[in-house]
Structure 1
Amino acid sequence: MKVLVVGAGGREHAILWKLAQSPQQPKLYCAPGNPGTEPLAASVGVGAEEVAALADFAEREGIDLTVIGPEAPLLAGIVDHFEERGLRVFGPRRAAALIEGSKAFAKSVMERRGVPTAAYRDFTDAEAARAYVRETGAPIVIKADGLAAGKGVIVAMTLQEAESALDMIMRENAFGDAGHKVVVEEFLTGQEATVMAFVCGTDIRLMVPAQDHKPAYDGDQGPNTGGMGTYSPVPVVTPELLDEVERTIIRPVVEGLAADGTPYRGVLYTGLMLTEQGPKVIEFNARFGDPETQVVLPRLESDLLEIFNSVVDGTLAEQEISWSEQAAVCVVLAAGGYPASYRKGDVIDGLDSTHAQSVIFHAGTKQTEAGIVTNGGRVLGVTGFGSDLRAAKQQAYEAVARVSFEGMHYRRDIADKALK
């Protein structure tokens, strides 16, 4: 079987790494790929958002299944386009992917289905948003409505920060079209958790939970990022809590989308705040999380390719999925300056120094004559494995210590919330 994975980041590297372990021994391709995916998959010189060119390649090469990694091609309608051409593809159609593409749309779905989430208002007028923020007070959360590469959320602890966030998004167009509408939300407190699920219509199979670390620096300090590290399992997410999340959040949403004529098929990512009143939704994503995938898929014991095919073929309800008891911790190594303007082109040393208890997933890297260099804000995801979180964290940071590049920075407290 020939399988094409679309994307170029750490998530796609992790997907290919797991697909390469399939007993079906698929021939793997990645478009466009990165230096980390090249030992696993043939690189295709087509960008992830070149929808027609990707479909042309799939037809020409006889690709049996295409897996869409990032959100941008999903919102560009790549699944719709592939299906119109009779090509098998894993991911939600554009209308269902709006659960990520518009925070206001996601809020409206939750509101109609009685799903617990933060109280909110959405605005297209900056002055109206400013008046609401002044009336409500801080702390408060300001979100760009559209896609902003994981950076369109500002947690404002003061009114001045909130008004600056509104100016940055709506007046200065920091996130382009994504900020033409903003969602202003109630500030929630508690621990965060991520629960991803394979979904086919109204059939759901939950994955093991993970906990991401969005702020750039230790102790959850600094600006938000796309994610600085993650771990799994998450002790605060008990089996009972997981059942509650499926019953009160994920199932009502997928049933609501199906009832609206936009059935969901693919991976649904649910970002949660575990409040004193119970779990509440922070956000939905229409694909595997990054870097959550880098700790969740290593714990998957079942054949990922078989799961993908069952979703596409409508047989997910018959699929048994098993998970390992081992723990995984992923530490993101970021470029100097990230998440603001960051360095590129620095040579990376130590990439070949991993061992059986760790793996390095490439996120923002590039092959040059000088060697593999940094080419993104989040450069690498270093994942360690162990019998428990403490052991997995040790393996991850031992592997981190062997990697270096100019300006490299990372959090040193990934998984500490669980260990404390």
Structure 2
Amino acid sequence: MKKVKVMNKKSLRTMIIGVVTVAVAVVCAFLYVSRPTELDKLSQSYLDTVDVEKLQKKVEKDFESSYQLKDYIVYGETLSLYKSAYGTAKTDKMQGNNIVLRNVMNDAITSFTFNGKVDSGIDLGSLKEGVYELYTYNHYEKERIYFDKAFKAKTITTMRRNKKVKDIMFIADKDALKKQDIQLDKNYAFLIVTKHIPKSTVYDVVIDPCGNTMDYTSDSVDYGTNSTNLDEASTSIKFARKVKKKLEEKGLKVKILRKENESPGYYGADGRPARGHSVKAKVYLALGVCEDENAYAPYMVTSPYTNSGLANTVSYVMANKGLSLYPVRTNNTQNMGVLYDAYIDGNNGSETKYELYPQLRETGGRATYTGLYGDEMKNTGYKKAYGMYGLYFVYASTNNSESVTYYKKNVDALAKALAKGIVTYFEV
């Protein structure tokens, strides 16, 4: 008979440990390979990863008081809320009110004050991941914000920060958390903030080098202001490339809106504003010149629907860098070298609600009444769009040789400071 080799206890234990070790390694390898990647997270929201039981316990369902709103505007990275439909009330009842956000999962409170301008309100770029309930104070009484009609707004994407962006879901619906078995009795407003890597098709800043503009009325190209010292079309695109480089060094994605020999206008599906809207840019920066013989240094024009916050920051940075701006301003809330765009006069001589510069009017979406002015009506597809924060930087005057000389001497410093002002304002 053959002898049967009996395995001793020590050998058996070793074999079992080895099998278990291999099994654990296989399971770990499987979990590692099948884990959600950064690309997978692009299709997820914060709600897909949340602890549902905790969410059910933390979300408030009953309130002593609630406050009904009717409208909202997105401009740059700011969400503004309105008691009346936007533009129908000269002074909206939300003006001066605090907007309070409660992060449901950790009870963190964030507060913003809406002063009536479209660059005030909720600073979306500053929000951390989470599910936020929205409140306001009405005569010192805290009230939960809701809307009469349910909606889910288009996703809002913030600027790039440390190679990441945040997608913001703004929703007001009593069934908003139905999948999480949470039922509400009104269309209470929520902000759901999700952080992930940015999509390659979404940009942060678009730059419009003024000049070489198609004039649809005359069916001809407006080549821009020029003189023996400076040609707007070619100089603007060279300046744009310098600003683009400085912004990209800060991690932002930047698109120049025309090539050197292109002549897109400010209307239509291939116009400069449309190109900016299509890539979901947050900032629309126009670079151009003027013919004012008194302007011996650069200055900025911004929308009168804003607080001039971006332009004021750029002005502050330039002053600290020792750069000169033309010493003008519309009012004392603005820093030196900052002007509001003018309103176009109507047939009866009174001001309309439409701004003069298409670089500001046609880029701000609903906030600046994009697509509603004039007979062409070629930007009507963007009249309800989220607004890009418009800034027109006038870098020189062709009728002032001192201005042209100053620009040429300081072009690199101006590009650097302009980029610095943008990243400072948005805290990139």
Q: TM-score, normalised by structure 2?
A: 0.27
Higher helix share: 1
Higher relative contact order (CA 8 A, sep 6+): 1
Q: TM-score, normalised by structure 1?
A: 0.28
Larger radius of gyration: 2
